């Protein structure tokens, strides 16, 4: 039995459960498998997931990938939070494969996290790997630590943003990005 499985068994005992009853016998193993999957971002990096998917291109206009689903776990309660990431950049001589932007989101979502840090990590990783003229990231998420316990507000959403380069320094660029994110450019 691994350390994680032994600890899960101990948690079950501390809660007053019988870890040897039929429905719980394999729970420590299942919890470990789930936790390893949900935290696989610790073994990944933006550099590795982007790999060689950078292409020389003279395109200098905004590239936006909206509605990237993500699932993470809050580091305070280890409860899920989930939502959508909206990520944009302005290339400066090279572009990245679009799916790689979603993979960068997952690198940071698949860790014990706080949404504020995750937003910054995504933006900073794209700046480092792409060296673009600017990066914008907006995350919209629902947090089970607010929905299932504590204040129990089912419909609350948390929105965070990180702006780098032209998205931070140029109000028109930032406005264009936010307009595209929030109403599809309408």
Considering the candidates 7, 29, 145, 182, report the single residue annotated as catalytic.
145
Q: Is 77 a catalytic residue?
A: yes
5 catalytically annotated: no
| Catalytic-role residue among 7, 17, 44, 77 | 77
Which residue is catalytic, options 74, 86, 113, 176? Answer: 74
Residue 145 a catalytic site member: yes
Coil, helix or strand at residue 114: coil
What are the beta bridge partners of residue 140? 84, 159
Distance CA 104, CA 82 (A): 16
75 counts as catalytic: yes
**Could you tell me if 145 and 175 are in contact, meaning their C-beta atoms sit under 8 angstroms apart?**
no
Q: Please identify which of the residues 5, 73, 113, 115 carries the catalytic annotation.
A: 115
Q: What's phi and psi for 123, nearest 5 deg?
A: -60, -45
Cβ 109 vs Cβ 70: under 8 Å: yes
Q: Which of 25, 57, 59, 76 is catalytic?
A: 76
Catalytic residue among 57, 75, 116, 175: 75
Q: What are the start-end ranges of the E strands in 19-171? A: 54-56, 63-74, 80-90, 94-96, 112-113, 134-143, 158-165
Active site residue 25: no
Tokens 């629902």 map to which residue? Answer: 142
Q: State yes or no: is 60 an active-site residue.
A: no
Clarify whether 121 is annotated catalytic: no
Report the catalytic residues.
74-77, 115, 143, 145
């Amino acid at each position: 039995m691994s350390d994680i499985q032994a600890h899960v068994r101990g948690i079950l005992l501390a809660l007053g459960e019988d870890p040897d009853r039929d429905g719980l016998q394999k729970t420590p193993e299942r919890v470990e498998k789930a936790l390893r999957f949900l935290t696989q971002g610790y073994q990944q990096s933006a550099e590795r997931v982007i790999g060689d998917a950078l292409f020389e291109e003279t395109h200098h206009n905004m590239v936006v990938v909206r509605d990237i689903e993500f699932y993470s776990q809050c580091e305070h309660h280890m409860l899920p939070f989930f939502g959508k990431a909206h990520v944009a950049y302005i290339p400066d001589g090279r572009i990245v494969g679009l799916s790689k932007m979603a993979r960068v989101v997952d690198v940071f979502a698949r860790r014990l996290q706080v949404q504020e840090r995750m937003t910054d990590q995504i933006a900073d990783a794209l700046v480092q790997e792409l060296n673009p003229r600017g990066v914008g990231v907006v995350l919209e998420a629902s947090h089970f630590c607010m929905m299932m316990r504590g204040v129990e507000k089912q419909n609350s959403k948390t929105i965070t943003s990180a702006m780098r380069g032209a998205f931070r320094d140029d109000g028109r660029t930032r406005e264009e990005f936010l307009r595209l994110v929030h109403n599809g450019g309408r």
